[in-house]
Chain A
């Protein structure tokens, strides 16, 4: 029965959503079960709140100004080398905060161990979020609007300030919100720089005091900060919903810069990217070489590499697979419940790794004691990688889902029906039509998850089984002991892997223009598919 099958898919979708959302919904319950849980750590909350507030304000302002200015520069001005600069400015995305911190600490930059230092580090590695979204918004603006403003007597520069910037405002705010979520989720940077934010407090309560209730309550507070931020972003965005896509070839014509201005436009961004990506990479190479030649390499380096790669590989298979099940369930059942379930299952993204770790450990521990009572299996869940995979699933399912869903949505439903009319049941349609057509999306999802798991620090740190150190943990540990040479090689590996998705994004975006144009001209979906596959 087709109805029965569709319900089975909806059921799987619901189960996945419950699996992902339940621990997060359970977090606030800790206030009910252990009302005085935080009493012992009374000093932690105001301290963390202040540090987090300063961080949010500083990083918000920093990324807003830097990201928007750079986006405006490459969108509205033309200068030699613009094409390269446009993409070079994205590279800092590959630099995890804690790796840049390793570089800064190793060079002993004065004043780096402070809130201001953390603000600077985050601004430098997170501005690409604002830059990317602002640039996309600027490029989508129609020249007619700017020309209308100029016709009303504004200079080019003033027209951009009074029309171009306000139109891009929602996108810019969205970028700032993304950057702030990353900053709030970070643990490595703030911990290494001694800035006592919520993530750091969670770590100390958990590892030093072993107080799970207090950790859950701190995590709840951090989630509320994140949610407040999202609500504020929505409010600030207000009713502004400027969706206007310029017809192709109809973008605002950039102003040609000459002489000193052109040189500045080229050299400024180059220096920035050189400082954020080039210099640390060079320094890491030097340190790594020293560590190898002088035998300073941590003895666990091989194990950590193996652990990192294995964890990342297995997650890269597991998470996209479940994302396909989820997305397909939503598509197959076509019911509103499944749609809501799909959205629920993706709320884990943007939540800090430490929050997710705290959220999953409690239900897992409970389940583990039940199973242990029955079968005597000991620490089956929390003592093994199962807990870790669970946390990765909660945290990264949305990432994979985004990529998978986007490619699934492009498959017209008449293909499903054609296949079914030819005798395929739903699973057969998935295997013979959808999966082959989603290959690009699946590969993207797998790559994103792989890289994120390689970089992930706090959840891995809190949930790893004994002897389960990863590259990220090795970097953090060695850096916190000021063993910069020891930290260099694992850090180098993480940055190099992190460059993969950035390179992929640049490649895809570079082609996107021509590809979309062809697809629009032909009005055919098949063409676009072929272009992506080729």
Chain B
């Protein structure tokens, strides 16, 4: 069963298309990320689901209710959707407890108090109930925003770039925390981000978006390992796009032979991730190290191949090659690649 289903949704602002023909399904209980560069229409998509924008065409179904479609536009307050804003949008005049209880006024008092208490415990802010938003740290504010969205038990929680206003050093920890809270609440969540690392590490599934269109949907491993387009391959991490000749189950490129995920014939392009290549000093060299980016746990090398092209290779930082060193680059074992355009 799906928590949210979009079909053929389009929206433009004054002639400029922000979202074009997007169909997407968020399954109940999953954590889905929409990943795209800024200006790709992902925030507009979120606002259409929340009801702050009306789609020009297409339909939006939340749970089993059509909330936007031809001749129908359910206002945001009637949609059973929780939203976490980029700036959190906490009500500055209300305590943590009142913020969390804000969406519960229509429920009986005991129910309201029980829900508020339970949500407070869920996000671990029982000791801050009376604090005002400005007395909280960035991470605490975010937890309040999340709790406030979760408290009315919405069909889905929408998160708009939830980590972008936090320090980089805090981000990874809070990401984990938010994920745990969402899992514990068994909530369905749709997160919008431009940070591929965030999307890959957090989401059950992710949708890559470009120029208002969804270009690929899949599990992080799938989207990263087997991008369907050159653009998606380049956006979700670093990649070498090699041309070669496919012969059924394999492809022959200038760097050597790779296994193909699905059989093909003739001239093709394949996406090879930097970690799908390895270096060895054993053979006579076919490339020279042009630059080396030491990243602690691994090293990224930029090589000039004898064919003239630049190749990027990622290796564990066990053995280091200096800039200028002659090396032999070849496919790593079990390197399976996908065709791209």
From known contacts A421-B149, A526-B134, infer whether A414 and B76 are also in contact, taking CB-CB under 8 Å.
no
A424 near B85: Cβ-Cβ < 8 Å: no
Cα A412 to Cα B89 with chains together (Å): 8
Contact of B75 among A419, A420, A422, A525 (CB under 8 A): A420
Q: What 6 A-B pairs are tightest by C-beta distance, nearest first?
A: A422-B103, A2-B75, A414-B89, A418-B89, A526-B92, A526-B134
Q: How many residues of B contact A (CB 8 A)?
A: 31
The verdict on A256 contacting chain B, using a C-beta distance below 8 Å, is no
Q: Which of A116-124, A206-214, A318-326, A432-440 contacts B (4 or more CB under 8 A)?
A: A432-440
Interface of chain B, helix or strand or loop or mixed?
loop
Query: B297 at the A/B interface (Cβ < 8 Å)?
Result: no
Known: A412-B87, A525-B92. A423 touches B134 (CB 8 A): no
| Nearest B residue to A424, CB-CB | B77
Listed by A's residue number, 18 A-B pairs whose Cβ atoms lie within 8 Å are A2-B73, A5-B75, A412-B89, A414-B86, A415-B89, A417-B50, A417-B83, A417-B89, A418-B90, A419-B91, A420-B75, A421-B50, A422-B149, A423-B77, A425-B77, A526-B92, A527-B134, A530-B92
Known: A421-B149, A422-B148, A530-B134. A1 touches B92 (CB 8 A): no
- Residues of A within 8 Å of B79, CB to CB, are 421
The answer to whether A423 and B87 touch across the interface, beta carbons within 8 angstroms, is no
Our pick among B75, B83, B149 for the contact of A425 (Cβ within 8 Å) is B75
Contacts A2-B51, A417-B50 known; A436 to B82 CB distance under 8 Å?
A: no
State whether the Cβ of A39 lies closer than 8 Å to any Cβ in chain B: no
Say how far A410's CB is from chain B's closest CB, in angstroms: 10
Q: Which of chain B's residues have a CB closer than 8 A to the CB of A414?
A: 85-87, 89
Instruction: Give chain A's interface residues, CB within 8 Å of chain B.
Output: 1-3, 5, 412, 414-415, 417-425, 428, 432-433, 436-437, 524-527, 529-530, 533
Question: In the assembled complex, which residues on chain B have CB atoms less than 8 Å from the CB atom of A418?
Answer: 83, 85, 89-91, 148
A422 pairs with B152, CB closer than 8 A: yes
Q: Mark B230-263, 1 if CB is under 8 A from A, else 0.
A: 0000000000000000000000000000000000
In the complex the two chains form, what is the Cα distance from A428 to B78 in whole Å?
13
A415 to chain B, nearest CB (A): 5
A423 contacts B92, C-beta separation under 8 Å = no
Interface presence of B132 (CB below 8 A): yes
Taking CB atoms and an 8 Å cut-off, the chain B residues in 37-56 that contact chain A are 50-52, 54
> Bound state CA distance, A412 and B132, in angstroms?
17
Query: CA of A3 to CA of B133 in the docked complex: distance in angstroms?
Result: 32
**B251-282, CB under 8 A of A: which get 1 and which 0?**
00000000000000000000000000000000
Q: For residue A1, which residues in chain B have a CB less than 8 angstroms away from its CB?
A: 73, 75
Q: Which residues of A contact B102 (CB under 8 A)?
A: 419, 422, 424, 432
| B309 interfacial contact with A, CB 8 Å | no
B283 close to A (CB within 8 Å):
no
> Which chain A residue lies CB-closest to B51?
A2
The answer for the CA separation of A417 and B91 in the assembled complex, in Å, is: 11
> How distant is A366 from chain B, measured CB to nearest CB, in Å?
41
Closest to B78 in A: A423
